[in-house]
C-alpha cells in the first residue's frame, strides 16, 4: 500500500509528448453506486484506446483504498453514494494522493455542489446529462492540467453567491428535512426548543421560504444542504 504513489513523475502540468502519461493508457477509477450505470460508463470508457478503467467502487468509502491499490491517474466520482459522498471522497483523495486528478460526475447540476466539489479539490465537474463524449474528453483534459467545468454552471455558481447558512442552521435544516418536530430536533441536537425555532426561522428567512418544508426544498435544490 505504500509503494504505489502515482507513477507519473509530473510535478505539475507538464505534458511530455502527446499524453501526460507518456503513451501508456490512462488509469481510471470509476465510483458510482448504481451498478448498471457504472458498468455502462466503464464500457463506454473502455472503448477509448488510451483509457483503461482499472478500478470501480460502489461506495464512497471504498474510493481511497481502490485508488491506492491500483495506481490510478484519474478518479471519476459520483456525488450521491452510500458510505461517503463523492465530495468527501475527493477531499480524502486530495489529502492522501495529491497527484491524482479528481473528476466529479453528478446527476444534479446544483451550483452548491460545484462549489463544494472545487473546494474539495476536484479539477472537473460534469453533469450526467451532458453528452457522453465529454466524459473521455474530460479525463484527457484534466490529465493535461486543464480544469473542465460547464461554463453555464460556473456562472450559476458565481451568481448564486455562497451558501448563506451558518453551520448550525444547515445542521438543523438537515435534521428537520425528514419531518422531525421541534421537540425532537431539540433533543437530538442538545438544544432548547426555542433555539431550534430561532435557527429555523433565520434559515427560512435567508432562503426566502414560507416554512421549514420549503426551506429544505430550496436548500436542497441549491446544493446547500
Interface residue list for DNA (CB under 7 A): 166-169, 181-183, 190-195, 197-198, 200-201, 204-205, 211-213
Contact in structure between 52 and 75 (CB atoms under 8 Å)? no
Q: Phi/psi at 95 (nearest 5 deg)?
A: -65, -40
Q: What angle do CA 35, 111, 224 make, to 5 degrees?
A: 85
Residue 192 site contact among DNA, its own copies, none (CB < 5 to 8 Å, cut-off depends on kind): DNA
Beta strand pairing call for 74-78 and 101-106? parallel
Contact in structure between 195 and 172 (CB atoms under 8 Å)? no
How many helices (H) does the chain have, and how many strands (E)? Answer: 10, 6
Question: Facing residues of 106 across strands?
Answer: 127
Question: Facing residues of 75 across strands?
Answer: 29, 102
Grid cell 509503494 is found at: 3
CB 163 to DNA: min, Å? 12
Question: Facing residues of 55 across strands?
Answer: 29
| Residue number, 60 or 112, with CB nearest to DNA | 112
**Identified binder of its own copies from the candidate list 39, 146, 150, 160, rule CB under 8 A:** 39
Residue 9 site contact among its own copies, DNA, none (CB < 5 to 8 Å, cut-off depends on kind): none
Q: Does 205 bind its own copies (CB under 8 A)?
A: no
E strands within 136-217? 148-149
Q: Does 44 bind its own copies (CB under 8 A)?
A: yes
| Residue number, 142 or 176, with CB nearest to DNA | 176
Q: Does 216 bind its own copies (CB under 8 A)?
A: yes
Q: Does 179 bind its own copies (CB under 8 A)?
A: yes
**Identified binder of its own copies from the candidate list 43, 69, 95, 187, rule CB under 8 A:** 43
CB 166 to DNA: min, Å? 4
Contact footprint for its own copies (CB under 8 A) = 33-41, 43-44, 47, 105, 107, 126-132, 134-135, 178-181, 209-217
Amino acid at each position: 500500500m505504500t509503494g504505489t504513489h502515482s507513477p507519473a513523475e509530473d510535478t505539475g502540468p507538464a505534458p511530455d509528448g502527446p499524453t501526460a502519461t507518456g503513451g501508456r493508457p490512462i488509469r481510471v477509477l470509476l465510483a458510482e453506486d448504481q451498478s448498471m450505470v457504472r458498468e455502462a460508463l466503464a464500457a463506454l470508457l473502455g472503448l477509448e484506446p488510451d483509457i483503461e478503467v482499472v478500478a470501480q467502487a460502489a461506495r464512497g468509502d471504498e474510493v481511497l483504498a481502490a485508488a491506492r491499490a491500483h495506481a490510478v491517474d484519474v478518479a471519476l466520482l459520483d456525488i450521491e453514494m452510500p458510505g461517503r459522498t463523492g465530495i468527501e471522497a475527493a477531499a480524502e483523495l486530495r489529502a492522501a494522493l495529491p497527484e491524482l486528478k479528481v473528476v466529479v460526475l453528478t446527476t444534479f447540476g446544483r451550483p452548491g455542489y460545484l462549489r463544494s466539489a472545487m473546494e474539495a479539490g476536484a479539477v472537473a465537474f460534469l453533469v450526467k446529462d451532458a453528452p457522453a463524449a465529454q466524459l473521455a474528453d474530460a479525463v484527457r483534459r484534466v490529465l493535461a492540467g486543464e480544469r473542465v467545468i460547464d461554463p453555464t454552471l460556473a456562472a450559476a455558481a458565481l451568481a448564486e453567491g455562497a451558501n448563506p447558512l451558518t453551520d448550525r442552521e444547515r445542521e438543523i435544516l438537515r435534521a428537520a428535512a425528514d419531518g422531525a418536530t421541534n421537540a425532537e430536533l431539540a433533543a437530538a441536537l442538545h438544544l432548547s426548543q426555542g433555539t431550534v425555532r430561532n435557527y429555523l426561522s433565520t434559515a427560512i428567512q435567508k432562503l426566502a421560504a414560507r416554512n421549514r418544508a420549503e426551506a429544505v426544498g430550496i436548500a436542497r435544490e441549491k446544493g446547500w444542504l
